Amino acid sequence: MKQHLYARSFLFIFGYAIVSALAISIVLSVFVMWLSSNAHASETELPQMRINDAKQGTLLFKRQDNRRQYVSAPTLKTDVSMKITGMLARVTVEQHFTNPTQLWQEGIYVFPLPDDSAVDRLRMKIGERIIEGQIKEKQQARKIYIQAKKQGKKAALIEQQRPNIFTNAVANIGPGETVSITIDYQQRLEYVKDTFSLRFPTVVNPRYTPAATRQLAEVLSNDSPSTFTTGGWLQKTAITASREHVTLDAGHPVSINIELEAGLPLQHINSPYHKIDVMRHNRQHIITLNNKHMPADRDFVLSWQPVLNRAPQAALFTERTDQANYTMLMFMPPQQQASNAVRLSREVVFIIDTSGSMGGASIRQAQKALHWATTQLSPKDSFNIIQFNSSTHKLFKNSVAANQQNLSIAKRYIDNLRAGGGTEMMSALRAALANQSHETASRQVRQVVFLTDGSVSNEHQLFNYIQAHLRNTRLFTVGIGSAPNSFFMKKAAKFGRGTHTHIGDLNEVETNMRALFSSIEKPMLTNIKTQWLAGTTAIEQSDHDALQSYPARISDLYAGRPLVVVARLPDHIDGLRVTGMVGEHPWQRTFTLTGGAAHNGVAKRWAREKIASLMDSLQDGADNTKVRGQVTKTALTHHLVSKYTSLVAVDVTPTRPIESTLQTQRIKTPLPKGSDAKTFLGLPKTATPAELNLLLGLMALLLSLGLWFMSNRTTRRLY
Amino acid sequence: MQSTALKASAVCLLGIATWQISDAAIIKGKAWLAQYLLQDAWQKTLKTQQTIKPWPWADHWPVARLQIPAHEQDLIVLAGAAGNSLAFAPGHMTQTALPGSKGLSVISAHRDTHFTFLRHLNQSDEIIVTDMHGKKVIYQIDETGIVDSRHFNVNDVTQSLVDNDSLLMLSTCYPFDEIVPGGSLRYIVMATQRKTVYL
């Protein structure tokens, strides 16, 4: 009886549970559906979704036929060979574009070259045929290229975007086909502290464009061939304006092969960032990468040092062409120390770039450099630290004495520096240059040491400011990271009448900063003027159109750095007098221009220096149209790519069938090594299983109800 | 005998149904209810200018208010775009700029709770963001699009920004009607700052 009661109450509870579960389920599903429909409440007609074009395979795009598909860009392999003789290097860069897809493609590649490179030759290799490129005025070259592209002909176009950034566009690469583009350029070697060096850049740091120059950047981007845009959304939102067409990639392979003919016995050959193999072959050294290929993620640097006491103190190279005589003269300033022993007290202002592009290894190098630099201050000196990213912050309101207390404040400040944000360089320069304290004794040396990777695109505006506000200050730039913008570094130092140093690795910090600090104590030779001579008579440059010598304005020389003059000379000129000041004493030296080694490339060098000088004159307010005309004329005569001239090569016969369309793809430019921006930040997962739960639940509910009724029916049939 | 078996399976299925439906209800209910519960914390945040946890054990706090008048949306945004905060509200990806400030700010939410309406947003719709200091920033939608989260790097967009750009990206999973979660596609809405209003 009792058991029966238990069973009944159990059944009752069980039944109750079932009914309430059913009720709960139904109520909850109604609730869930109400919530879901709530979210849909504002639903109207489903708008046609705007699907975007594909960009670098990161954006999924829908084709007309509604099939999703990725398009991959042509792949790229680069072979570099260099011939180094005297003070010049002749470099051949071969870019092999392979189209892995089944579509006809146009590949556009943005690549860096040394900032003083004179690009003078383009060859396009299709199978066994080689098509030589022609130098044309920029717009004309673009027209030729676009026309060939439309006609289905293979074509290549080399344009200069910035002094050290070029684009190579190759049209009509067929499915599975490889087109090789060969670019030749010439560059000058660096010669600092008895060491020759040369840099081959492989990566472009994404540049930062301050808001004020947005319009300028837009003009720049409009300036690039309009047909190149793919029309992806990144382009439409104001982003591309400053993107410099740079897309990011892990890096494609680069091989390097160098023939070095130093002309001097060498002590050692060194490549700080890459492992190299050196082979001696008569008077030549053959240098190759140890790994054969390197990923294009940091600049390649090669340096070599003549044996002790054989470091050249002066050098003369000449080239005679049909039109004229060209001369390149290098000499070292007087080495005797202008050391009246007493070191002057100085004010040092450190500016450190803490923008986003400095993230990763760069900021650590900069911190180490700053730490080291502050230890070099004597208590007589005063100093300040300014950091900038989107905004500028000064450690001290005004420069303070370099005593223990202030130095330990500085130390903590440096430790806490973090990279992030924009690169508003102008406000930092303003902070350093604008309020030069009046009490700065005339005997006090004022130095600004500027640590940055120079990832800015408003370079010219910055140069203008430096030039206008420099006064007694000297600006020294320290390039940080594996791929600094060396065009900016060098020019900023030039307008700032200081020097440029580069730190590419944490291990280099101390050596390079030490070199900088020892050389910046005092310039060796100031107020430098040159005077060309015919016999003993001075020839005025303005009297002779044939006589053109560059640089037009010579900046102060610091210890261990040479003066290099490149000139086009009339026949009767046979001497050069250089005058200047060593400390407070006048100094003079006369060179006789006889002898010297004949050297191919001096004329090209001269033309490149002339173009650089003309472009610089824009900073002084020279007339734009006039400069444009002069640059174009010089560039066309000497077959050089410039801001106003481009190289273009077009195949004679069309290869692409007119009915197949051409896809345009940007080839990714690799990001510098150690950069934080390389890290991948993906969008989070944002789907709940709620709908799935509801669907499963409702299905189970229906099934359960069905079974229940079925079981009832079976029961009825049985009894 | 047969009927007992059928009844037993019916009961089992009912159990499963209840379990599944309650799960769905919890997800939807949490998302719906939390917006009311977060209001209080948000008002306090505005008043004190400090981060306020909505309930003592929470590991997130309100960072902004997101309004889209044209679609009658008014949402409190929490810090962090991981599951813990997304269950209650749209979440701000902490690696990106704060909503309403310079740079790129990314806010994500579930496609089937707070961001279901995302598919209905049109170009030039206005989005109003109120930050913790009460500053109101009005964004205008430039583009909508679909990206593959396996390849789309938010840092690429941040990298390419121009200084004064203030960009807002709303993201949610795509396709909206997919029943099974976990796909790699995302629907994104890009908006640029138009003007700033102070309260």
CB pairs under 8 A between A and B: 279
Residues from chain A contacting residue B119 (CB–CB below 8 Å): 46, 49
Greatest CA separation for chain A: 139
pLDDT tens, position by position, A288-304: 988 766 666 678 899 99
Confidence check: pLDDT of A221 > 50? no
For chain A, give the percent of residues with pLDDT over 70.
Answer: 78
B113 contacts in chain A (CB < 8 Å):
39, 688, 690
Residue B135 has pLDDT above 50, yes or no: yes
The closest CB to that of B24, out of A50, A690, A704, belongs to A690
Show residues of chain A in contact with B10, CB under 8 Å: 703-708, 711
Contact B13 A35 (CB under 8 A): no
State the burial class of residue A24 (Cβ atoms within 10 Å of its Cβ: 0-12, 13-18, 19+).
Answer: middle
The per-residue b/e assignment along B12-45, b for 16 or more CB within 10 angstroms, e otherwise, is ebbbbbbbbbbbbbebbbbbbebbeebeebbebb
Q: How far is A697 from chain B (nearest CA, A)?
A: 4
Q: Give me the pLDDT at residue A663, please.
A: 62
In the prediction, which pLDDT does B67 show?
A: 92
User: Does the pLDDT value for residue A225 go beyond 50?
Assistant: no
- Domains of chain A are 314-335+525-637 (2.60.40), 346-436+443-520 (3.40.50.410)
Residue A411 — very low, low, confident or very high, per pLDDT cuts 50/70/90? very high
Give the pLDDT of residue A151: 87
Angle made by CA atoms A52, A53, A57, in degrees to the nearest 5 = 115
Looking at per-residue confidence, does A689 or A103 come out higher?
A689
CB atoms inside a 10 Å sphere around CB A509: 23
Residue of higher predicted confidence among A436 and B116: B116
Closest Cα partner for A539 from A565, A500, A506, A569?
Answer: A569
CB atoms within 10 A of CB A661: 8
Select the residue of B27, B164, B190 nearest A237 (Cβ to Cβ). Answer: B190
Tell me: the pLDDT tens digits for B52-71?
A: 888 888 878 899 999 998 88
Mean pLDDT of chain A: 77
CB–CB contact A701 B148 (8 Å): no
CA–CA gap between residue A568 and residue A717 (Å, rounded) = 116
pLDDT of residue A56: 24
Compute the distance between CA of residue A362 and CA of residue A373 in angstroms, rounded to an integer.
Answer: 16
Give the model's pLDDT for residue A595.
77
Residues of A in contact with B103 (CB under 8 A): 421
pLDDT of residue A592: 86
pLDDT for the residue numbered A74: 59
What pLDDT, on a 0 to 100 scale, did the predictor assign at position B128? 92
Tell me the pLDDT band of A422, cut-offs 50, 70 and 90: confident
pLDDT at residue B161, as a whole number: 63
Residues A375, A376, A379, CA angle at the centre, nearest 5°? 90
Q: What does the pLDDT read at residue A675? A: 54
Per-residue pLDDT, A274: 85
If we measure between CA atoms, which residue out of A380, A347, A378, A521 comes closest to residue A446? Answer: A347
pLDDT in tens, A57-111: 222 222 223 333 334 455 677 889 999 988 899 999 998 887 776 777 777 777 7
pLDDT category at A632 given cuts 50, 70, 90 is very high
Q: How far is CA A410 from CA A370, A404, A477, B187, in A?
A: 9, 10, 20, 47
| Interface touch A680/B146, C-beta < 8 Å | no
Ordered DSSP codes for A644-657: SEEEEEEEEEE-S-
Contacts of B192 (CB under 8 A, 6+ apart): A237, A238, B139, B140, B142, B165, B166, B167, B168
> A489-520 pLDDT, tens per residue?
888 888 888 888 888 777 788 788 877 877 77
Of the residues B35, B146, B160, B166, the best mutation for testing chain A's interface (the one with the most A CB atoms within 10 Å of its CB) is B160
Query: Between A449 and A67, where is the model more confident?
Result: A449
Our CA-based measurement puts residue B49 at a distance from the nearest CA of chain A, in whole angstroms, of 23
Minimal CA–CA distance to B125: which of B100, B143, B107, B110?
A: B143
Query: Is pLDDT larger for residue A197 or for residue A49?
Result: A197
Q: Tell me what pLDDT residue A713 has.
A: 77
Are the beta carbons of A701 and B17 separated by less than 8 Å? Answer: yes
Q: What are A635-681's pLDDT values in tens digits?
A: 999 999 999 999 999 988 777 776 666 666 555 555 555 555 556 67
Contact flag B14-A700 (C-beta cutoff 8 Å): yes
Residue ranges per domain, chain B?
Answer: 2-198
Answer with the residue of higher pLDDT: A655 or A277: A277
Nearest CA in chain B to A52: B145
Q: Which of A33-42, A413-422, A513-522 has the lowest mean pLDDT?
A: A33-42
Least confident of A106-115, A440-449, A658-667, B124-133: A658-667
> Considering only CB atoms, which chain B residues are within 8 Å of A25?
14, 17-18, 21
With a cut of 0.95, is the ipTM above it? no
Contact A483, A672 (CB under 8 A): yes
Distances (CA, A) of A232 to A55, B155, B172, B184: 6, 17, 20, 20
Residue A659 — φ and ψ, nearest 5°? -75, -20
Residue of A nearest to B151 (CA): A58
What average pLDDT does chain B have? Answer: 84
CB distance B17–A692 less than 8 Å? no
Is the CB of residue A255 less than 8 Å from the CB of residue A292?
Answer: yes
pLDDT band with cut points at 50, 70 and 90 for residue A591: confident
Provide the greatest CA pair distance for chain B: 77
Q: Is the pLDDT of residue A212 over 70?
A: no
Quick: pLDDT tens for B153-173: 787 777 666 556 788 999 998
Name which residue leads in pLDDT, A188 or A356: A188
Residue A64: count of CB within 10 angstroms of its CB: 5
Q: Which CATH class is domain B2-198?
A: mainly beta
CB contact under 8 A, A697 and B143: no
pLDDT above 90 (res A123): yes
